[in-house]
Structures are given as structure tokens and as C-alpha cells.
Amino acid sequence: MNQIIHKFTRNVPHWQPRVEPVKLDEATPEQLHALQVTPSNTKVSEYVLTLAHDVESLTVRTPLFNAIMYDPGGMSRPERELGALGASLVNRCIYCAAVHADRHAKLKKDTTITDRLFANGEKAELSPRDRAIFDFSRKSAEAPSTAGPEDMDALREAGLSDDEILDLILSSALFGWANRLMHVLGDPVRQKGTS
């Protein structure tokens, strides 16, 4: 019996779908193409197999996701992860929060910031720059968004350039999208026999 995780953690859980994923041996050529299944690569996550039900969306979303999170220039990688994390905390996507807190900690080689965010949420002690980034991300993720001119002023006062602010808007908004897939379509679980 898999145990559903309800608390935020950096220990990335397994994602268990609430709907039946596409079965690889029944996948259409279009789905196989989107899944990038080749004879040498037949390992596809259940999450991606679930999204393959809507293959047109999956096909365009994967490169868009990668561009927002990884393209060079603009905001640093750990700060984009902080943007992703802010949204994931608001939407209580335990799985997304774990993955992106873990990436943040690995990029920074330091768990302090994500430890504080998991322990104290929006009251966590952060540097002025991280504070401005995190506050914008979480307020933008509220539904409806509560981010306002004062949050934009705080980003500029913390020294963010236009390019960095745009990347923050994109990474937080992207997780408004990702959270509504992962948190809605599946459960974060600890599989029996694993830590």
C-alpha cells in the first residue's frame, strides 16, 4: 500500500496517477513521437504517459517548459527554481515543490533557503533579493493573482533587471500550469519498501 504524502519535503516522492495512463503498447505513432520513445529509450514516466492522453498539448508544452527553466540569459537557474517553488507552495503541489526545492538546494549546494521555506512558509527569513522573488512568485500564483505594483517595485529595488523579472513571471506562471496537472491528476506517494 502506497502512502500519500501530505507534508512538503525535498525527498522527491513517487507520482501516482489518478487516471489510467496511456499504455505504451497501445500508443499511437503521434503519442510515441511525443513521448520520444525509441528502441533505445523505452523508459517513460507515468506522468508523461498520463499527459500523452492530450498529445497535442504535451508536444508543445515540453519545449516551452525547457525554454522557461533552462534557456541561457536572464534569471539564474536557482532563482527560476525559487519562482517555481513559490507557485508550488501556494497550490500545495507536494510533488512539484519537492522536485524544485531539491533542484534549488543542489544548484545552491545549500539547503538553508528551502529548509526555511518548508518550515516557515511565507514568513521564512530570506535575503532581500530572494524575499522579493519569492513574494512575487507566490502572489502571482494566488487565484486570482494578488501581485501588485508594490511587488514589482520590490523586485526592481532588489536589483532585478527587466530580463530577470520576465523570467520570474514566466517560471512562476509555468508552475501555475504544471501544478494544475501534477496536483490534480495524481498523488505524491512513498512506495512501500522505499525510504
Comparison of 26 and 42: residue with beta carbon closer to another protein? 26
Q: Which long-range contacts (CB under 8 A, 24 or more apart) does 42-47 make?
A: 45/15, 46/15, 46/16, 46/17, 46/21, 46/186, 47/15, 47/17, 47/182, 47/186
Cis peptide upstream of residue 144 (ω within 30 degrees of 0): yes
What's the grid cell of residue 190?
512513498
Helix ranges, the chain (H): 29-34, 46-51, 55-70, 77-90, 94-108, 112-120, 128-141, 149-157, 162-185
Calpha distance 27→35 (Å, rounded): 10
Least distance from another protein to the Cβ atom of residue 19, Å: 4
* Residues found near another protein in the complex (CB under 8 A): 18-20, 50-51, 53-57, 59-61, 63-64, 67-68, 71, 73-74, 90-93, 140-141, 143-145, 147-149, 151-153, 156, 162-163, 165-170, 172-174, 176-181, 183-185, 187
* Residue 176 Cβ vs another protein, minimum distance, rounded to whole Å: 4
CB of 149 to another protein, least distance (A): 6
Coil, strand or helix at 195: coil
If the CB atoms of residues 22 and 105 are measured against another protein, the closer one turns out to be 22
In the bound state with another protein, the residue whose beta carbon lies nearer, of 105 and 168, is 168
Nearer to another protein, 105 or 172 (CB): 172
3-state secondary structure of 45: coil
Q: How far is the CB of 41 from another protein (least distance, A)?
A: 22
Choose between 39 and 63: whose C-beta lies nearer to another protein: 63
- In whole angstroms, the minimum distance from the beta carbon of 153 to another protein comes to 6
